[in-house]
């Protein structure tokens, strides 16, 4: 009897489930793959010298001809940052809302590939048909405007992907998340809900972005005589708009500092997502034309990044702005995990300059807390819960929410990147396989050319530096023609350690004479012996373990 395999839907996260960042999920049905999001991750502390990480897209490259589109939920780096790299390998159209596309366009332009890339701006409520898939963009709220959830209609059922979202009943700009449409789609039956887990550990309901505006109002009222400097996330256009509105209300001019801040505000302004009341925006060069009590500076650096504008103002290396004792400085942000110490150092520096620093709670999250997640589940009523976005503990926290709502183990799918979650024609889900995934490190122009060996070397070099032993050998006689010469970097300051280096040289010389006497001509053996004798000596003398690199030159 001939069996006929009915087509299945495969949902394959290619990143984003092992860490914060690198969000990317493939949806595959027969000959078509569509991809939701294409993000980067910021490097971990031990990834020395690495600029960013992007997902390993071997699976997409191998199925290049199947890939029919990239659907982007919103314009944050962890959802769009890998696009310039991925699109060079897998060229398919990009679909996104207007502001999201504006930010993507800027990235593509920087890399000189804007013209080559097919892009289509999508409106909320609009549906894109791609082979067997229909993808509808649905309005949500988030800490950047124009965020969308995606309803992915497939032959075996609907997958609802929330993207990053929160429920904001009083957003600063635009509408509340389209709960009606989400409910309507839910009412017709949804197979799987892929829902943002970032705040799933947090009880309650994330406050509205507009509550921050009220705080700004209070702070401006209390600090009428002081210059106000506000550090926030560059991409939070609504936050910036609220600062502008408050500044205008209090008759202050606004200057913007920090490259990413200037870029995003520029894009948002051109596309109509941010509005400066007439003559409110001034150049940082013109700040000194106004009294301090009449200016506000919006700046990058809310994460304590050493090169960002606020840090440079704090440590006195900013070209245009230096901190004054009467400044009021507001961190309208929270420290992203891993940045706490840097933020704390900048705050301390600002305090030392005499400034008044306001740090706590002038910020709300852009992610749904537990009650919002429950609301979405109750509107969508999916057959399967598929928690996404976040570390494992966040996914587990959403699992607990799903359980509380009555889902059993069978209907909650906690995936790892690379897992193939297959929905059969009856809409039954099962992990049926695993595709290759991973992290590709980007360093300068190099994508993936820094691997574990190079990183391990960098860690070794960072720890104790390097000692280089150069020897010239006569290729005919096998005797030493010159050297050994010893050079070190990052090990000890040579002027303070002349004896050590002299002794080291002597020890290597002795070893070479020894080997010469033994008529050893095998150069790799000579290198190994030099390395061993020197490494032992250095450890004994210093208890350090620098990299030792013998180089033999034939003359």
- For its own copies, the binding residues (CB under 8 A) are 45, 48-49, 337-338, 340-341, 344, 347-348, 351-352, 357, 391-393, 396, 443-446, 449-451, 453-455, 457-466, 468, 470, 472, 481-483, 485, 487, 489-493, 496-497, 541-544, 547, 549, 551, 553-555
Q: With respect to its own copies, which residue has the nearer C-beta, 153 or 351?
A: 351
Binding positions: 49, 51, 74, 76, 78-79, 142, 164, 234-236, 363-367, 389, 443
- Please confirm, yes or no, whether 196 is among the known catalytic residues: yes
Give the annotated binding-site residues for Ca(2+).
Answer: 49, 51, 443
Phi first, then psi: give them for residue 329, nearest 5 degrees: -120, 125
Task: Report which secondary-structure segment, H or E, holds 127.
Answer: strand 127-130
Alpha-carbon distance of 452 to 50, in angstroms, equals 12
Q: Which is nearer to its own copies, 179 or 472 (CB)?
A: 472
The tokens for 310 are 């606020």
Distance CA 531, CA 537 (A): 10
Report in angstroms how near the CB of residue 450 gets to its own copies at its nearest.
7
Gap between the Cα atoms of 319 and 161, Å rounded: 45
Q: Which is nearer to its own copies, 284 or 397 (CB)?
A: 397
Q: How far apart are CA 550 and CA 533, in angstroms?
A: 12
When the beta carbons of 204 and 446 are compared against its own copies, the nearer one is 446
CB of 331 to its own copies, least distance (A): 13
Taking the complex as a whole, how short is the minimal distance between the CB of residue 353 and its own copies, in angstroms?
A: 10
Ordered DSSP codes for 500-523: HHHHHHHHHHHHHHHHHHTT---H
Catalytic member of 367, 394, 419, 464 = 367
Q: Helix (H) and strand (E) counts for the chain?
A: 15, 25
CB of 523 to its own copies, least distance (A): 12
Give the span between the Cα atoms of 455 and 440, in whole angstroms. 12
**Residue 161 appears among annotated catalytic residues:** no
Q: What b-and-e string marks burial along 461-486, b requiring 16 or more CB atoms within 10 Å of the CB? A: beebbbbbbebbbeeeeeebeebbeb
Return d(Cα 358, Cα 327) in angstroms, integer.
11
Tell me if 246 sits within 8 A of 220, measured CB to CB: yes
Query: What H or E segment, with its residue span, contains residue 453?
Result: helix 452-464
Q: Which is nearer to its own copies, 316 or 446 (by Cβ)?
A: 446
CB of 471 to its own copies, least distance (A): 8
Bind-site residues for substrate: 234-236, 363-367
User: Which residues form the catalytic set?
Assistant: 196, 367
């Amino acid at each position: 009897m001939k069996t006929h395999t009915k087509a299945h839907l495969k949902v394959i996260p290619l990143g984003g489930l092992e860490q914060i960042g690198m969000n990317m999920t493939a949806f595959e049905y027969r000959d078509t793959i569509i991809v939701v999001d294409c993000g980067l991750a910021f490097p971990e502390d031990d990834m020395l010298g690495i600029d960013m990480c992007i997902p390993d897209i071997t699976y997409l490259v191998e199925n290049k001809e199947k890939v029919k589109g990239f659907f982007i939920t919103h314009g944050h780096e962890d959802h769009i940052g890998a696009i310039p790299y991925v699109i060079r390998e897998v060229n398919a159209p990009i679909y996104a809302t207007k502001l999201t596309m504006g930010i993507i366009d800027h990235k593509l332009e920087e890399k000189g590939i804007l013209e080559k890339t097919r892009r289509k701006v999508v409106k909320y409520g609009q549906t894109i048909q791609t082979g067997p898939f229909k993808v509808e963009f649905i309005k949500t709220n988030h800490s950047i405007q124009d965020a969308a959830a995606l309803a992915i209609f497939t032959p075996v059922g609907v997958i609802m992907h929330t993207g990053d979202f929160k429920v904001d009943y009083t957003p600063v700009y635009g509408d509340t998340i389209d709960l009606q449409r989400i409910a309507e789609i839910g009412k017709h039956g949804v197979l799987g809900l892929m829902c943002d887990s970032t705040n799933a550990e947090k009880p309650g309901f994330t406050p509205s972005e507009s509550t921050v505006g009220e705080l700004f109002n209070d702070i401006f009222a209390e600090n009428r005589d002081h210059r106000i400097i506000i550090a926030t996330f560059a991409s939070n256009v609504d936050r910036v708009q609220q600062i502008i509105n408050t500044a205008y209300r209090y008759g202050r001019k606004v200057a913007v500092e920090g490259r990413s801040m200037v870029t995003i505000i520029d894009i948002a302004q051109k596309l109509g997502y941010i509005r400066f009341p007439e003559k409110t925006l001034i150049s940082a060069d013109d700040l000194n034309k106004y009294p301090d009590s009449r200016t506000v500076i919006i700046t990058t650096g809310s994460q304590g990044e050493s090169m960002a504008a606020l840090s440079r103002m704090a440590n006195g290396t900013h070209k245009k702005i230096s901190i004054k004792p009467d400044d009021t400085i507001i961190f309208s942000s929270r420290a992203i995990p891993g940045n706490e110490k840097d933020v704390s150092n900048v705050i301390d520096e600002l305090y030392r300059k005499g400034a008044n620093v306001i740090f706590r709670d002038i910020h709300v999250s852009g992610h749904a807390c537990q009650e919002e997640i429950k609301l979405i589940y109750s509107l969508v009523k999916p057959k399967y819960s598929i928690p996404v976005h976040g570390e494992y503990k966040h996914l587990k926290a959403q699992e607990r929410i799903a359980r509380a709502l009555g889902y059993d183990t069978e209907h909650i799918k906690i995936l790892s990147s690379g897992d193939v979650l297959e929905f059969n024609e009856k809409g039954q889900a099962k992990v049926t396989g695993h595709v290759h995934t991973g992290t590709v490190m980007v360093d300068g122009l190099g994508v993936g050319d820094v691997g574990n060996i190079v990183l391990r070397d960098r860690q070794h070099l960072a720890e104790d530096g390097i000692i280089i032993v150069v020897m010239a050998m006569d290729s005919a006689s096998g005797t030493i023609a010159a050297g050994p010469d010893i050079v070190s970097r990052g090990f000890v300051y040579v002027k303070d350690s002349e004896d050590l280096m002299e002794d080291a040289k002597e020890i290597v010389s002795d070893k070479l004479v020894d080997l010469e006497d033994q008529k050893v001509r095998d150069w790799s053996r000579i290198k190994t012996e030099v390395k061993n004798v020197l490494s032992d000596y250095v450890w004994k003398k210093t208890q350090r373990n620098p990299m030792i690199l013998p180089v033999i030159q034939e003359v």
